[in-house]
Homo-oligomer: A and B are copies of this chain.
Amino acid sequence: MSKATGSGEFALIREFFASGFPRNQYTRLGVGDDASIVTPPAGCDLLQSIDTQVADVHFPATAPAHLIAQRALRCAASDLAAMGAEPQGFHLALTLPNAEHEWLADFASGLRDAAHELDLDLLGGDTTSGPCLVISIQVQGWVPAGSALTRAGAQAGDDIWVSDTIGRGALALPQVLENPAQFSGLARHYYFPQVQTPLGIQLRDLATSCMDISDGLLQDAGHIARASGVTLELDAAAIPTIAERTDSRWLQCITGGDDYQLLFTIPAARRKEAEALREEFSGIARIGKVITHNGEDVLVQENDHILTLPEHAGFQHF
Contacts and interface: CB of A to CB of B under 8 A. Distances in A.
Contact of A212 (B13, B29, B34, B80): B34
Interface stretch (A159-167, A236-244, A286-294, A309-317): A309-317
A269 interface: no
A49 B29 contact: no
How many copies make up the complex?
2
Interface stretch (A129-137, A181-189, A272-280): A129-137
Contacts of A285: none
Interface in A218-233: 227
Contacts of A83: 33-35, 37
Interface of A: 1-7, 9-10, 13, 28-29, 32-40, 42, 44-60, 79-80, 82-83, 85, 91-95, 99, 123-132, 134, 136, 138, 145, 148, 150-152, 173, 176-177, 211-212, 227, 256-258, 312, 315-318
Q: Which 7 A-B pairs have the closest CB atoms?
A: A9-B318, A40-B40, A54-B130, A93-B136, A6-B318, A35-B49, A50-B91
Contact of A1 (B6, B58, B151): B58
Given A34-B211, A52-B93, A28 B45 contact: yes
Q: Which of A33, A58, A150 has the most CB of B within 10 A?
A: A33
Contacts of A138: 50, 91, 93, 138
B35 A47 contact: yes
Contacts of A2: 173, 256-257, 315
Given A51-B126, A52-B93, A35 B82 contact: yes
Contacts of A125: 50
A37 B46 contact: yes
Contacts of A150: 29, 33-34
A56 to B, nearest CB: 8
Nearest to A10: B317
User: Which of A1, A57, A79, A126 counts the most chain B CB atoms within 10 A?
Assistant: A1
Given A37-B148, A59-B1, A132 B131 contact: yes
B34 A151 contact: yes
Q: Of A83, A123, A134, A312, which is in contact with the most chain B CB atoms at under 10 Å from its CB? A: A134
Given A138-B138, A317-B6, A128 B35 contact: no
A313 to B, nearest CB: 9
Nearest to A5: B312
Contacts of A99: 318
A258 B3 CA distance: 13
Contacts of A50: 91-93, 124-126, 136, 138
Contacts of A48: 35-36, 38, 91, 123-124
25 contacts: A1-B58, A2-B173, A2-B256, A3-B316, A4-B316, A5-B316, A10-B318, A29-B148, A33-B83, A33-B211, A34-B49, A37-B47, A37-B148, A40-B40, A40-B46, A50-B124, A50-B125, A52-B94, A54-B95, A54-B130, A93-B93, A126-B136, A128-B317, A130-B132, A134-B136
